[in-house]
Amino acid sequence: MPKPVLSLQASEIALLGAAAQIFSAYIVSGHVTGGNESDMMDRSLSEALKMARRVEEMVQSDNELG
C-alpha cells in the first residue's frame, strides 16, 4: 500500500497545529465521542481557521508594510 504524500504550506501546517490542539482539548474535556469524532475535527479546524482570519485582520506583519 503506497504512502500518502502530503505537501503542506507553512500556513497550512500552522492551522493543522492549532486545530490539533483545539481537538485535543475537546478530547480531554470529554466532548469527543465515537459518534462525533469527524464533526469535532471539522469544528476544531473551523475554529482554528476563524482564529487565523482574526489574526490576519488585526495584525499587520512586516512584509505587509511594503
Tens of pLDDT, residue by residue over 6-46, are 999 999 999 999 999 999 999 999 999 989 999 999 999 99
Global pTM value: 0.82
CA distances from 44 to 26, 32, 52 (A): 8, 11, 12
Please tell me which residue, 4 or 50, carries the higher pLDDT value: 50
Q: What is the pLDDT of residue 49?
A: 97
C-alpha grid cell, residue 17: 497545529
Q: What is the DSSP string of 21-63?
A: HHHHHHHHTT---TTTHHHHHHHHHHHHHHHHHHHHHH---GG
Q: How far apart are the first and last CA of the chain?
A: 48
Q: What is the pLDDT of residue 1?
A: 81
Q: How confident is the model at residue 64 (pLDDT cuts 50, 70, 90)?
A: low
Q: What is the pLDDT of residue 60?
A: 79
